[in-house]
Structure 1
Amino acid sequence: MEYIENDFEPRLVSGIPVHSYPKEVFLSYLRDSIGSDRKKRHICITNTESMYYAKRLPDFKNYIKTSTFSLCDGIGSVIAGKFQGQKIERFNGPDFMLACCDYGQEYGWRHFFYGGREGVAEQLVDNLMQKYPKMQVAGTFCPPFRRMSNEEKSNMLTEVKNSNADIIWVGLGLLKQENWIAENKELLNIPWSVGVGAAFDFYAGTAKRAPLPFRKLGFEWLYRLILEPRMFKRNVNSYQFMFSAIGDGIKNLGK
């Protein structure tokens, strides 16, 4: 089935768009665009922490609004949407990446993996290839933990552009990965850019992902908090947005 971008109306949570469709809709749209116009697009993986920053950083809010798809990542967004009369389905970043790696085998999609600590992207690719043996890998790049020189950045962009990738997965963490995509998307010869954060570490085996029961119940955040106490501040930001959005929904119900 062919789609045009205007076919996809987002649900709004405190003014922030989130798209909620069956995963087959997203995947078939990627398939059609990769096989035809190859216009440069990006997908935002949107959770309550993303929404917290979107309310405070205009450029980041614009990044979400200009994404072809804003996918719901996390139970907090579902709860916030429910109080505002919006039914939203979750399709988080790690699951979306696996779905694309699997689905794209049939269509020869080429994947580029940008990010992670040294060796993480390569281990990620090895693990994914065991799971999806027909997956095509266009390349990997691990950026240094410092500002790249102009020459280094030029060489990196050349490497990525020459990879003939269809999707670039960027694992630099929230805000940094979205800023990287916003800055470089138009310079790359790649139809789709997606920031997926911790997915690199999950599938490389350098960080533990929550067991399936936690994920189904929406408690993946709790599992990560137990293993990584540094996540506490991020969860505070997420809850601040969620409770604010719930309050907005309750107020609107009374009008």
Structure 2
Amino acid sequence: MTLTNAAMSRLFNFDRNLYLIAGLPFDALDLNDVVRIIHDSAERNRSCFISTPNLNFIVSCLTDVSFRSSVLNSDISIPDGKPVVWLAKLLKLPIKERVSGANLFEQLESNQDKKIKVYFFGGLEGIAQLACQKINDRNSAMSCSGYESPGFGSIEAMSSDSSINAINESGADFLVVSLGAKKGQAWIEHNRNRIKTPIMCHLGAVINFVAGNVNRAPLFLQNLGFEWLWRIYQEPNLWKRYFNDGLHFLSLLTTKAVPYALWLRFQQKQFSGKNELNLNVTESADQSIQITLSGVCTDETILPLKQAIKKLAPFNNHFILDLNNVIHIDPAFLGTCSLLYAHCHCYGGKLQITNINNITRRIFKWNCADFLIDD
């Protein structure tokens, strides 16, 4: 089965170094890696939707399917929060640093070797205009080619032809959206096929930082992971959100992340020396692709599976992963599954994961990946 031309225009990158943490995928990239990808996308005029999940994203995506889908469908997903890095460290995953939206923006602005044009969409009335003026008053690598403060209407109301045309005609390389995380992600998802600007990202607080009406936390608070305290000091109405997120984080730690980390440490000897993955690919009568796996499917062994999916995905939207003979999986396998899940759903198909034993099912649950097997 061959996907339609519309589907072929949006291919998922199965070469990504992706890990599932608390139900969301994260790329193992540092700040310089992301800056290079942005400049490369701008030079090649290649679409790149960047998500920057933090703890609030994780908490919200546990119950909001559409919000989670926006992260799964992104081209890059980077941790904009210390709790994500702490979870990665606990599980010994190669995600070493927080890549905040504000730090990313500052790095792009300070890189004099690569010029970049930005467009601000969102924020309170007058804030986008002020941010645009301040950017253009500086002698930096960044210039602002336009802005719009669309108010607080529906996604559809903020997606008029005039708004999209203004963005497309601005010649911007980087579209910064600031509508609130859920609405901003949804707005990008709703309009990404209409937008010609190559890089799109929701960076809620950045527009306020640039405009100067909100100040960033001191560096020592950022490094300690206490930037949220400064945000509450600056915007007291945020305390309820941070309190709720903190409670959910403690729950994730005690009921999922810590039990999984302890299980990994106690079971490590059982899987040491077992580093082989075998797979067999067949096509079913309904044209679905079945990949039967056996052995260990982890970060060290997953390359053959990635290569097989990369080869087959452009022509298929229904996959079955048979785990009957799989003895161990990890967040790298779950990250690849989340990407394949997004691919299948994007093109009207389905991912089925079958023959899951009790231990494997528990690993799915510990990593908040139930959605992959409950679909």
Question: Greater relative contact order (Cα 8 A, min sep 6): structure 1 or 2?
Answer: 1
Q: How does 1:1-255 map to 2 (within 5 A)?
A: 5-36=13-44, 38-88=45-95, 89-103=97-111, 105-147=112-154, 153-247=160-254, 248-255=256-263
* Preserved contact between residue 5 and residue 68 of structure 1 (Cα < 8 Å): yes
Higher strand share: 2
- Contact kept, 8 Å, 1:138 with 1:165, in 2: the verdict is yes
Q: Structure 1 residues 84, 236: closer, same or farther in 2, change over 3 A?
A: farther
Give me the identity figure in percent.
25
Greater displacement, 14-23 / 145-154? 145-154
CA positional deviation for 1:150: 5.9
How many residue pairs end up in the alignment?
Answer: 250
Q: Secondary structure at the residue paired with 2:152?
A: coil
Cα distance in 2 for partners of 1:116, 1:100 equals: 21
Q: What is the CA–CA distance in structure 1 between the aligned matches of 2:106 and 2:85, rounded to whole Å?
A: 21
Question: Which sits farther off after the overlay, 189-198 or 70-79?
Answer: 70-79
Find the aligned partners of 1:243 and 1:177 in 2 and give their Cα distance.
Answer: 27
Encode CA deviations 1:135-155: one digit per residue, 9 max, x unaligned. Answer: 232211111233488698221
Task: Tell me which moved more, 84-93 or 160-169.
Answer: 84-93
The structure with the larger Rg is 2
TM-score (ref. length: structure 1): 0.88
Unaligned runs of 5+ in 1: none
SS at match of 1:238: helix
Report SS of the residue matched to 1:137: strand
Gaps in structure 2 of 5+ consecutive residues: 1-11, 264-375
CA distance in 2, matches of 1:177, 1:227: 22
Q: Please tell me whether the aligned partners of residues 121 and 175 of structure 2 are also in contact (alpha carbons under 8 angstroms).
A: yes
Question: Secondary structure of the residue that 1:46 maps to in structure 2?
Answer: coil
TM-score (norm 2): 0.61
User: How much is the aligned-residue C-alpha RMSD, in angstroms?
Assistant: 2.3
Q: Which amino acid aligns with 2:104?
A: F
